[in-house]
């Protein structure tokens, strides 16, 4: 049988199958034809590549162009593709996100591209040890920084400057030295620094003596003509540079400074421009994710080429990660000519745009299929829902569940439920997506989890009391789910979100 459109096979579990069919049927116009197949597993999120390797036969999938598995499916999908000669692909973690995943709005965003360099400043370098500076530099690099900026302090001796620059270069970092003292800049450049922050009309001569690329600033604050003159001098000499019109804090020239950057771009359409964002992120008592989103929208529109980011104040501890997320999101949106929506949720740290994928009615319907004693926890607009074969319970705060759970003599299970219900409560209060046995998603506010989709996740602690009594005291259960999983294996498993594809 031939299909005029791409023909897709969706593999799932028993609990998710009805909902998956309903969601796929809702995608109109659908850019593909599809079939759903339940592979003999209750919980779709427990699917593994090894399980599929044993359960699938070539004749089962020969008519399909692609096979879509749940986003939480662990294992090597490339090995499956080699074995069966078909493309295997992980869908989204939540099946409610399938319409968006398949282009109801757009194709999944490519966030691998960006065009803004991030300079991450270590502002107290003269007062830090070499080991501490290297540690922070490695962290900034993991968070997305392209250049490590070594900040010099006024009237503060810095005898270890050359040693620090040399050590960073030996570890493969690009380095800038940040000072208004020409002697510090010269020392940094002679030690191998790649960039110098900052030169102006009176110190421009240093650019003729060193190879480091200067970042130019006005001789006097706000003097755009001075900055443009310096840029023209270096342009005539054929020397590379960046220009920085200086972003000012709110109520101290912020709006005027934004206008200066716009005028600078108009005057120097081909110049590389830097913006230091710390005067806004550090000096405003507001979460920095939103500030960075707005600033990087301006940066994207003006085609600004570099930012200087700092993490001095405790509330700015994820500023570099946020800058990295913002530059990628804004680049993707600009390239597509679209609003910066549905490209990334990295800057949605406090709330989610789609916090509650399931209605209370859908969760109740789902609970009717559950035949084991393990608790499933889900969150809807109405509150928190916890259910197993013994009943369905709903409340809006965790303490209300305690009399209904029957865990008075099951300390470890009670502890687990307390943790999960508290997490669900926070998600409901804030309007965040909740997934059982998963940390809440704080976006760029925390380092990304090291999630290895080639390996099955360790199980949680939702063991029934009866099964736990069979284990040695204090034993830590780590069972691999494969195609031979018995009913007891599934009962032992933490209930991953049954709404997964």
Query: Which DSSP state fits 398?
Result: G
Question: Per-residue confidence at 331, pLDDT binned at 50, 70, 90?
Answer: very high
Question: Per-residue confidence at 485, pLDDT binned at 50, 70, 90?
Answer: very low
Look at residue 451 in the predicted model and tell me its pLDDT.
Answer: 60
Arithmetic mean of pLDDT, 317-345:
93
pLDDT at 238 over 90: yes
Decide: helix, strand or coil at residue 111: coil
- Asked if 394 contacts 411 with a C-beta cutoff of 8 angstroms, the reply is no
- 443/446 Cα distance (integer angstroms): 6
Residues 165-204: tens digit of each pLDDT = 999 999 999 999 999 899 999 999 999 999 999 999 999 9
Q: What percent of the chain has pLDDT over 70?
A: 88
Indicate where the chain has its CATH 3.40.50 domain(s). 6-101
Question: Per-residue confidence at 103, pLDDT binned at 50, 70, 90?
Answer: low
Lowest mean pLDDT among 40-44, 126-130, 269-273, 459-463: 459-463
Indicate where the chain has its CATH 3.20.20.20 domain(s). 117-336
Arithmetic mean of pLDDT, 251-257:
97
Look at residue 459 in the predicted model and tell me its pLDDT.
Answer: 46
User: DSSP of 303-319, one letter per residue?
Assistant: T--EEEE---SGGGTTH
Please state the length of the chain: 501
Tokens (6 digits) for 161: 């400057």
Residue with tokens 């709110």: 250
Look at residue 202 in the predicted model and tell me its pLDDT.
Answer: 95
Question: Per-residue confidence at 107, pLDDT binned at 50, 70, 90?
Answer: low
Please say whether the structural domain 117-336 has been given the CATH code 3.30.930.10: no
- 102/104 Cα distance (integer angstroms): 6
Question: Per-residue confidence at 468, pLDDT binned at 50, 70, 90?
Answer: very low
Look at residue 492 in the predicted model and tell me its pLDDT.
Answer: 35
Alpha-carbon separation of residue 259 from 115, 117, 254, 267 (angstroms)? 22, 22, 9, 12
Calculated CA dihedral for residues 304, 309, 313, 316, nearest 10 degrees: 70
Beta-sheet pairing, 195-199 with 174-178? parallel
Residues 35-93: tens digit of each pLDDT = 999 988 887 878 899 999 989 988 888 899 999 999 888 899 999 999 999 899 999 88
pLDDT at 119 over 50: yes
Q: What is the pTM of this model?
A: 0.77
Look at residue 93 in the predicted model and tell me its pLDDT.
Answer: 82
- 151/156 Cα distance (integer angstroms): 11
Look at residue 498 in the predicted model and tell me its pLDDT.
Answer: 34
pLDDT at 501 over 90: no
The vertex-172 CA angle with 167 and 178, nearest 5°, equals 65
Arithmetic mean of pLDDT, 338-360:
91
Alpha-carbon separation of residue 414 from 427, 470, 471 (angstroms)? 20, 18, 18
CATH number listed for the domain at residues 6-101: 3.40.50
Alpha-carbon separation of residue 378 from 23, 366, 415, 419 (angstroms)? 19, 11, 18, 14
Q: Mean pLDDT over all residues of the chain?
A: 87
């Amino acid at each position: 049988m031939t299909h005029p459109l791409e023909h897709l096979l969706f593999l799932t579990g028993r609990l998710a199958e009805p909902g998956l069919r309903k969601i796929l049927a809702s995608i109109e116009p659908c850019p593909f034809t599809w079939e759903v197949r339940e592979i003999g597993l209750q919980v779709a999120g427990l699917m593994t590549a090894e399980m599929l390797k044993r359960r699938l036969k070539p004749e089962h999938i020969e008519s399909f162009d692609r096979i879509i598995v749940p986003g939480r499916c662990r294992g090597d999908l490339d090995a499956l593709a080699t074995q069966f000669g078909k493309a295997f692909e992980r869908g989204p973690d939540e099946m409610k996100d399938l319409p968006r995943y398949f282009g109801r709005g757009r194709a999944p965003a490519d966030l691998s591209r960006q065009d803004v360099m991030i300079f991450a400043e270590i502002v107290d370098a003269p007062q830090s040890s070499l080991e501490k500076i290297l540690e922070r530099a490695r962290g900034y690099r993991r968070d997305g920084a392209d250049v490590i900026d070594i900040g010099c302090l006024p009237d503060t001796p810095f005898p270890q400057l050359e040693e620090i620059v040399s050590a960073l270069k030996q570890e493969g970092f690009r380095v800038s030295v940040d000072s208004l003292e020409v002697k510090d800049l010269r020392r940094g450049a002679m030690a191998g620094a790649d960039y110098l922050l900052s030169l102006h009309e009176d110190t421009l001569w240093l650019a003729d003596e060193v190879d480091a690329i200067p970042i130019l600033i006005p001789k006097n604050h706000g003097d755009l003509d001075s900055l443009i003159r310096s840029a023209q001098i270096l342009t005539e000499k054929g020397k590379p540079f960046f220009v920085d019109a200086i972003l000012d804090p709110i109520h101290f020239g912020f709006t005027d400074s934004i206008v200066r950057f716009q005028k600078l771009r108009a005057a120097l359409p081909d110049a590389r421009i830097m913006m230091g964002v710390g005067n806004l992120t550090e000096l405003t008592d507001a979460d920095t994710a939103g500030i960075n989103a707005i600033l990087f929208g301006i940066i994207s529109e003006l085609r600004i080429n570099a930012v200087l980011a700092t993490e001095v104040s405790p509330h700015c501890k994820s500023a570099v990660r946020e800058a990295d997320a913002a530059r990628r999101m804004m680049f993707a949106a600009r390239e597509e000519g679209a609003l910066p929506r549905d490209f990334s949720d990295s800057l949605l740290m406090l709330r989610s745009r789609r916090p509650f994928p399931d209605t209370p009615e859908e969760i109740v319907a789902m609970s009717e299929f559950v035949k084991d004693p393990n608790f499933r926890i889900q969150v809807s607009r109405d509150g928190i829902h916890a259910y197993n074969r013994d009943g369905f319970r709903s409340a809006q705060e965790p303490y209300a569940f305690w009399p209904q759970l029957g865990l008075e003599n099951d300390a470890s299970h009670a502890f687990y439920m307390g943790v999960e219900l508290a997490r669900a409560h926070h998600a409901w209060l804030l309007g965040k997506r909740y997934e059982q046995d998963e940390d809440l998603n704080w976006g760029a506010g925390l380092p990304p989890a090291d999630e290895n989709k080639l390996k099955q996740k360790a199980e949680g602690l939702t063991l029934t009391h009866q099964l736990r009594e069979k284990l040695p005291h204090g034993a830590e259960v780590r069972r691999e789910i494969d195609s031979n999983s018995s009913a007891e294996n599934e009962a032992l498993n933490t209930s991953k979100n049954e709404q997964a594809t």
